[in-house]
Chains A and B, each alone.
Chain A
């Protein structure tokens, strides 16, 4: 029996401390190492399974070209999902990342010819900071639910895309960033500059979460009902910074697409955030806040990318991809829910079915 303050039903959401304790509890209770790894790192487990299945059934999977293509494809999602992880861990959602990416691509392409690449990239980054700050201010200062607020900014930023591009298809100079021979690091010349940059960003993002105080505070802000305020944390500021980082990374991702394609992606619309949130959840980052990491989210992105590559190599149409991703997502969430029930029944000695988060409440500030 845990002390009173650790009971999940008292705080609504299990606190970080309670989660840490209970995950150890469930480890001891279940005694199954494999099940615990599956709970904690569903994305990495999925990658391992896909690698085993893929290498046995698909001879072309382990070629350098396949992996270069795969990494180029997931690089953009890597960047977006880093910022998304910050926001998700802090207990919020950002649905505007797709529109922000579109905005970044259009701004870069429009300015690259006129003002030069450096000024264009700097402008795009500034736009990203402003876009993220706007999200953060609307959510934390005006107190609007982050789902609603970022749907509003999603629509607003997609409007800004039209304003910047005048409704035209924009195209500009194309940089060979997706070609591996252009890699700046001689030792890693099998990686293209884009994928190298994305992987570096994932590592930096993970280090921000694990080594920097702001990152540690995010877990407390997202994982407790009082949003860390009882611990003396300025949750508003930390959440705002998470939104700013998310906006910046999304716009930079869009600018990178603009560079590699040499064209804007004004229609990068509403599917992107949903796909990336799905990937983060498959990787083990919780939509409820307080749980997950950049590496976990990135593992989800890589797992989905790998799955799509394998299906592509078998020339299975995109029909199967949507269905497969959806089924994995449902399986992960249902398994997660069962795990939570186990925790709550173990910590409260109540019968199963007493959990207070039955219908999937997301803790969001009112």
Chain B
């Protein structure tokens, strides 16, 4: 990795960041810059804030899905139902005490994650279908618990600060970014995080290396469900209302964000910071459709095309990065080449 000359340290870092966090960020910046140049209404505080808010809840669910994907579980399809259940649970229990409501929601998340993990990792059932099944059960339970009704928090609540913002940056977005960074650090530096990469990359090799693959895999589902429960509580606190179907839209949006960010669904590679980039990219495009005055009906079409394009860029991010640097003049390229 290290090059002979000391002066290429900085470029080396840039190169490392590009490989580490995916090729989506340059694309993100370019699209944002072009839109800002051609659309006056894009570069306003309200609009930017809207993009950030739109990305936040989806983003936290996407962080959860990223961890499941890295650990080889492909995707947790029960998050939609869990999200709705926790969102309703929190609002209903808030009368009895905020701490109780928050803890009950997170506890439900841990419980569901444990069940998913035990079914998928100890009993070795296909994780996609098992979580589809537990999601169906949870959806039924959430419907039973809520009676299909929508619940509201009382108007002035102690959650007011959640809907606030620091300048242009909303509090929920801050939570999303902090969680993405924490999850990335967990993934990159801790034993558990490295084990997730190991079992996702090759279960057999991880087993031979002495990793307790069933326990580590189960923990990936628990961590994911915990994050989803937190996202649901944030959702309830932010919007002040929820029903049992509140989470359904976030499931596929989150998986799309994971893929656009450049995390392989096949396991063993990826990260949460690049997932954050993918989610932001989709939110940005949805906003671009609005501010450029394209009919709203085309919004989903644009997003669908963008996901395919984004995945192509993200999946081939490493190759793209090499291709980009190959267009630079030779001395610069030589200093950029790291290995």
Q: Do A and B bind each other?
A: yes
Query: Which residues of A pack against B, CB within 8 Å?
Result: 9, 95, 138, 142-145, 147-149, 151-160, 162-163, 166-167, 270-271, 274, 277-278, 281, 287-288, 318-330, 333-334, 336-338, 340-341, 355-362, 364, 366
Question: Which residue of chain B has its CB nearest to the CB of A142?
Answer: B312
A156 and B301 contacting across the interface, CB-CB below 8 Å:
yes
A148 and B72 contacting across the interface, CB-CB below 8 Å:
no
Q: Which residues of A contact B248 (CB under 8 A)?
A: 270-271
A157-B304 Cα distance, complex, nearest whole Å: 8
A148-B252 Cα distance, complex, nearest whole Å: 9
- Which B residues between 14 and 57 are near A, CB-CB below 8 angstroms? none
B297 and A147 contacting across the interface, CB-CB below 8 Å:
no
| With contact pairs A337-B125, A358-B124 given, residues A322 and B297 touching in the complex (Cβ less than 8 Å) | no
A145 and B265 contacting across the interface, CB-CB below 8 Å:
yes
* Interface residue tally for chain B (C-beta within 8 Å): 62
B256 and A155 contacting across the interface, CB-CB below 8 Å:
yes
Question: Which residue of chain B has its CB nearest to the CB of A328?
Answer: B133
Q: Which residues of B contact A274 (CB under 8 A)?
A: 77, 132
Output the least CB separation between A289 and chain B (Å). 11
B300 and A359 contacting across the interface, CB-CB below 8 Å:
no
A163-B311 Cα distance, complex, nearest whole Å: 24
A329-B204 Cα distance, complex, nearest whole Å: 27
Q: Which residues of B contact A9 (CB under 8 A)?
A: 204
| With contact pairs A156-B303, A163-B301 given, residues A360 and B74 touching in the complex (Cβ less than 8 Å) | yes
B252 and A270 contacting across the interface, CB-CB below 8 Å:
yes
| With contact pairs A358-B217, A360-B74 given, residues A323 and B141 touching in the complex (Cβ less than 8 Å) | yes
Question: Which residue of chain A has its CB nearest to the CB of B306?
Answer: A152
A154-B252, A329-B129, A330-B134 known; 7 new pairs, CB 8 Å cut-off, are A145-B259, A155-B304, A270-B251, A287-B129, A321-B140, A336-B126, A361-B267
Cβ 8 A contact of B71, one of A143, A151, A326, A359? A359
B304 and A153 contacting across the interface, CB-CB below 8 Å:
yes
Main secondary structure of the interface of B (DSSP, over half): helix
A326 and B140 contacting across the interface, CB-CB below 8 Å:
yes
Main secondary structure of the interface of A (DSSP, over half): helix
Q: Which residues of B contact A362 (CB under 8 A)?
A: 74, 126, 128
16 sampled A-B residue pairs with Cβ under 8 A:
A142-B312, A147-B265, A155-B303, A157-B304, A162-B300, A163-B295, A163-B298, A287-B126, A287-B128, A319-B143, A322-B136, A323-B140, A327-B133, A330-B119, A334-B119, A360-B74
B308 and A144 contacting across the interface, CB-CB below 8 Å:
yes
A336-B124 Cα distance, complex, nearest whole Å: 9
B311 and A144 contacting across the interface, CB-CB below 8 Å:
yes
A239-B266 Cα distance, complex, nearest whole Å: 19
Cβ 8 A contact of B123, one of A158, A322, A324, A334? A334
Cβ 8 A contact of A322, one of B140, B302, B303? B140
Output the least CB separation between B251 and chain A (Å). 8
B305 in the interface (beta carbon within 8 A): yes
Question: Which residue of chain B has its CB nearest to the CB of A359?
Answer: B72
A159 and B298 contacting across the interface, CB-CB below 8 Å:
yes
B193 in the interface (beta carbon within 8 A): no
Output the least CB separation between A223 and chain B (Å). 15
B140 and A320 contacting across the interface, CB-CB below 8 Å:
yes
Question: Which residue of chain A has its CB nearest to the CB of B218?
Answer: A359
Question: Which residue of chain B has its CB nearest to the CB of A160?
Answer: B301
Q: Which residues of A contact B139 (CB under 8 A)?
A: 322, 326
B144 in the interface (beta carbon within 8 A): yes
B203 in the interface (beta carbon within 8 A): yes
Question: Which residue of chain A has its CB nearest to the CB of B117?
Answer: A359
A278 and B140 contacting across the interface, CB-CB below 8 Å:
no
Output the least CB separation between B262 and chain A (Å). 11
A337 and B123 contacting across the interface, CB-CB below 8 Å:
yes
B127 in the interface (beta carbon within 8 A): yes
- Which B residues between 285 and 336 are near A, CB-CB below 8 angstroms? 295-305, 307-308, 311-312, 315
Q: Which residues of A contact B303 (CB under 8 A)?
A: 155-156, 159
Render B246-266 as a binary contact track against A, CB cut-off 8 A, 1 for contact.
001001100110010000111
Q: Which residues of B contact A326 (CB under 8 A)?
A: 133-140
